[in-house]
Amino acid sequence: MFHHASRIAVAVAGAAALAATAALPAAAADHHRGHHAPGSHHQVRSAVVLGPIQYDSPGRDDNSNRSLNAEWVTLRNTGRWPVIIKGWTLSDKTGHSYRFGNVRLAGHSQVRVHTGIGRDNRTDLFQDRRNYFWDNYSDTATLRNDHRRIVDSRSWGHHGHWGHH
């Protein structure tokens, strides 16, 4: 009986060692897949990306709601499954930020985020601002998830790199 119990103990110990060895590469791989501290500047992989951006409202910049709403950023869900973007933020290089409410972005869909005032719906969201959000000459749109990790960013203009391409 004692001999049988020790065989079971050895088998259990061997299985536990094997399981621990198999789990080790997965944990090491996770370390390199974008698991960084909150506020980190490392980009994480996401199906939600920035699409077309109209940072310079057509016509005169007269601060009218019509002109403000002609300034927009598109978010695209390139994946098959819906993504809840509640708590995600869209920000410019100076730190102005828009926080998404309880928004569900269906698979293979997109939503435009307008600067001005309007009624949110499935295809258009409104920041309800009375001033322009994006710098027409040089800015960066940054999308962060609810853990403050960068999901995507897009820049335009010079960004201090005068004379360089």
**Closest to 158 (Cα-Cα) out of 133, 131, 134, 140:** 140
pLDDT over 60 at 18, yes or no = no
Condensed to tens digits (0 to 9), the pLDDT of residues 31-59 reads: 333 333 344 456 678 999 999 999 999 99
**For residue 112, how many C-alpha atoms fall within 13 Å in the half-sphere facing its CB?**
16
User: Is 93 a residue whose pLDDT tops 60?
Assistant: yes
Among positive and negative, which fits the CA dihedral 84, 73, 131, 118? negative
Assess contact for 73 and 140: CB atoms under 8 A: no
CB 108 within 8 A of CB 77: yes
Residue 1's pLDDT is 53
3-state secondary structure of 65: helix
pLDDT at residue 163 greater than cutoff 70: no
E runs forming strands in the chain = 48-54, 72-77, 83-84, 89-91, 97-99, 104-105, 109-114, 124-126, 139-144, 150-156
Closest CA to 152 of 34, 31, 28, 32: 34
